[in-house]
Structure 1
Amino acid sequence: MVYATDDKTKTQHLLSLDGANERLQLYKADLTAEGSFDSAVDGCQAVFHTASPVLFQTSNPQADLIDPAVKGTLNVLKSCAKMPSVKRAPKHWYMLSKTLAEEAAWKFANENGIDLVAVNPGFVIGPFLQPSVNFTVEEVLRLINGNRAFPSDIFRFVDVRDVANAHIQAFEVPSASGRCCVVGSMVHYTEALKIMHELYPNLPLSGNWENYETFQPQCKISQEKAKSLGVNFTPLEVSLRDTVECLKEKGLVSF
């Protein structure tokens, strides 16, 4: 499902994938319009609803975040409920709007007999297909370019390929159920900067991070459920390297 299907900058990277001519169909839909997903869902055995607006500053959070997340999720599920072919519908969430959306999704799924699996990823990095960067990779890009002071916080990193695999396993493994946290590494951001410095010594990283006093995570996120589905997490070093290499390949950084 792609918004603005007439905009080639939004679709060309998808249409260029191997086998796209035979196996890929794009549908235009509106998250907030009930019935908008009916034609896309018709005939599917599984539905992966994997995105929703990511904004930290907005003058209208209800319209920009809550409605697209909650109504969008319910509208996808309502379309699923109409189609007897749909067997399972994995979903992943982000912050408050995603929490509200997940609560609404579980309520609707339980009331309508939909087999729902929730995949909850952390801070997603790794190589990307589209020509522009998404929010999480943009944060890495800003640090590389020196446009952002590094955040003094614990980050829950996960490779985008592991997130994709978790969604596939959530559909294919019969025992998959409930909620599944997908987080590969939980470290202070300076640890990530240290890794990038070791991989790319000439990288002009932001801030005086080498002398910054770090702190350890105050909690742990279990990988048990994700690993039980067959998810083998990519090392953070590999994810960061592949993120930077992808940025270089697309001409977004040079050093």
Structure 2
Amino acid sequence: MKKVLVTGANGHLGYSLVKLLKERGYDVTAAVRNANDNGKTKALQKLGVKLVSADLSDRESLRKALAGQDGLFQVAAAFNLTAKDPQKEVVEPNIQGTRNIMEEARNAGIKKIVYTSSIAAVGTIAEGESPLNESSWNDSAKEPYAISKTLSEKLAWELAEKLGLNLVTILPGTIVGPQFAQPTSSLKLIQDILKGQLPFAPKMTFSYVDVRDVAMAHLQAYENPQAKGRYIATGETLSVSQVCKLVKEIHPKAKTTGKELPSFVVRAMPFLDALKHALTGLDRQINSAIVQDYLQRRQEYNSDRLTKEFQWKPMPIRKSLQETVDWMLSSSI
């Protein structure tokens, strides 16, 4: 079971997972959309893994990438806050991509699949409610990515049962940590705090986890023959205000107060963010669906399954944030 394919290998999680697998002696094939794009594959090339071009929408490319593999880590997914048609650009590609790779994995005789879902597929709670666990599904999601992750993971389980596939899903929290070439949407929050672009904080609360801990959860799920079902992989729950203050402690030059904005101001932020995007071309950071799903809500979960079954223990988020900030400052990101 040492020959494995990792999709989305040049992403934040994908790279950390490829690096970990390589260190553990796996024969890793790293799948990216364009293996000839040296700018996006430079870090993977340094790891000395095999690079292949594969797109979840292209069955032929998946067929070639899966040939001869024992296992699959399905990490790749579409994410686009600036999508003009989120249904066609995010939701449908993630659902169809899941169908394509699951069916091609069956055809290739893949022995085990570890599928990256998200706590976005689990949901949020109101203040005072009990933490959620793997039995919960985010059927009320408004934000397109959360909708896509919920529907895609449900489809993965349907196909696994229908096709007789050995499937385990990992549901990471909001991922931070070093080892990235381009900041993800989650990391841009840290970047904005460092650059003084988030002087005040929206009243939102997220659950954070280091990318290396998520990679380890994937590896443990793959190596453990008793692994079964869904596994939430996340650590501490912090408000955006708390994150601002932690980053300020780590890097005192960060221009943020960490004070929370009134909710009516937060509801206007998507309009201002869209205006900034239109004028400057900078990536979107927030939209109305995010406000609907997360304003005055909490991402709070029980990760006991991973802890009890695999002795998984995520690092303190302050340590992860410290290394995230150090990476950004040293890389001029």
Cα distance in 2, alignment partners of residues 44 and 119 from structure 1: 20
1:233 corresponds in structure 2 to 314
5+ residue gaps, structure 2, are 1-30, 119-145, 263-294
The answer (yes or no) to whether the contact 1:121–1:183 under 8 Å persists in 2 is yes
Determine whether 1:186 maps to 2:237.
yes
Mark the runs of 5 or more structure 1 residues left unpaired by the alignment: none
In structure 2, relative to structure 1, the CA distance for the partners of 1:204 and 1:115 (3 Å cut) is same
| In structure 1, C-alpha distance between the alignment counterparts of 2:242 and 2:168, rounded to whole Å | 32
- What does the per-residue CA deviation read over 1:206-238, in whole Å, with 9 as the maximum and x for residues that have no partner? xx424779x997674111112122321110110
| Structure-1 residue corresponding to 2:303 | 223
1:135 is matched with which residue?
185
SS in 1 for 2:227: coil
Q: Which moved more, 1:96-105 or 1:147-156?
A: 147-156
Is 1:248 the counterpart of 2:332? The answer is: no
User: Offset at 1:76?
Assistant: 1.2
Q: Any idea what the Cα deviations from partners look like across 1:127-170, whole Å, max 9, x if unmatched? A: 0242x222211221012112245332011101000110010011
Distance 1:209-1:249 versus aligned 2 partners, 3 A rule: same
| Amino acid aligned to 1:93 | S
Per the alignment, residue 209 of structure 1 pairs with 258
**CA distance, structure 1, for counterparts of residue 260 and residue 52 of structure 2:** 50
Q: Does 1:110 align with 2:161?
A: yes
- For residues 42-70 of structure 1, give each alpha carbon's deviation from its aligned partner in whole angstroms, at most 9, with x where no partner exists: 22221111121222332112321022211
SS in 2 for 1:58: coil
What corresponds to 2:222 in structure 1? 171
Q: Which runs of 4+ in 1 moved over 6 A?
A: none
Aligned-partner Cα distance in 2 for 1:35–1:99: 26
1:3 aligns with 2:25: no
Seen in structure 2, the aligned counterparts of structure 1 residues 219 and 5 have a Cα distance that, compared at 3 Å, is closer
Kept in 2, the 8 Å contact 1:187–1:216? The answer is no
Q: TM-score, normalised by structure 1?
A: 0.88
> Residue type of the partner of 1:137?
L
What's the TM-score, normalizing by structure 2?
0.68
CA 1:70–1:158 in structure 2 vs 1: closer, same or farther (change >3 Å)? same
Task: For 2:298 and 2:211, locate their aligned partners in 1 and report how far apart those are by CA, in whole Å.
Answer: 25
Matched, 1:92 2:116: yes
Shift of residue 244, structure 1, vs aligned partner = 0.3
Aligned residue type for 2:38: K
RMSD: 2.2
Structure 2 CA distance for aligned equivalents of residues 211 and 7 of structure 1: 41
Identity of aligned residues (%): 27
Give, in whole Å, the separation in 1 of the partners of 2:314 and 2:116.
Answer: 17
State the shift of 1:36 in Å: 2.4
